[in-house]
Structure 1
Amino acid sequence: MLSWMVWTTPVAVFFALVVVMLIGMTVWETRSPTVMRKGFLPIATTRGDRLFIGLMFAAWINLAWVGLGEKMQTWFGLAEEPSIWISAAIAAVVLLVVMRRG
């Protein structure tokens, strides 16, 4: 059923963390309902909105990293493509910034 998906460790970790975040946000929302607020994003958002936007940024960062991997190897003269864990760390920082300040 899931044989079409390339289940590498980074992919499995990413999806597991998304599930944990969704469960955590559900519990947080039931204990403390959210209020709309305006941060650096151009719209007023709730916690759920910021989580969705942050996850979209994370997906775009990781897709760009994978897509530019060979080019980065050439540009920087690397022996192999840069690790996907680097993009995962960058995406996590961007997600935290969006959740906190967005």
Structure 2
Amino acid sequence: MNLNWMAWTKPTAAFFIIIFCLLVAMTIWEIKSPGGAPRVGILRFETTRGDRLFVSLLGSAFIHIFWLAFFSASLWWGFAIACVYAICVFLWV
């Protein structure tokens, strides 16, 4: 398979590997503890573990886009903010 047209850099590969590992980890977590006890958080609607993962990934994408658009500092700072955001989503949403 010829993928020369894609920008396969180490960070791009790491991104997809991390997403894949998150999905595998969530699958294992669901198998070990089915249901995940849906709960109502600060947004006042019921969410499951999968919902919180989706919200954290979507929010992290927007954080990275915002960081690239408005800041010239290293993207690692945006990554750190996205990690804190994801932890907050899993704790309180």
Task: Find the partner of 1:82 among 62, 68, 73.
Answer: 73
Aligned pairs for 1:1-102 within 5 A: 2-33=3-34, 34-68=36-70, 72=71, 81-102=72-93
Higher relative contact order (CA 8 A, sep 6+): 1
- Given residue 55 of structure 2, which amino acid in structure 1 is its aligned partner? I
**CA 1:43–1:88: 2 relative to 1, 3 Å:** same
Instruction: Give me the TM-score of the superposition, normalised by structure 2.
Output: 0.84
- Given residue 86 of structure 1, which amino acid in structure 2 is its aligned partner? W
> How many residues matched?
91
- The structure that is strand-richer by fraction is 2
- Given residue 14 of structure 1, which amino acid in structure 2 is its aligned partner? F
CA distance in 1, matches of 2:38, 2:66: 31
Root-mean-square deviation over aligned CA pairs: 1.7
Structure 1, unpaired ranges of 5+ = 73-80
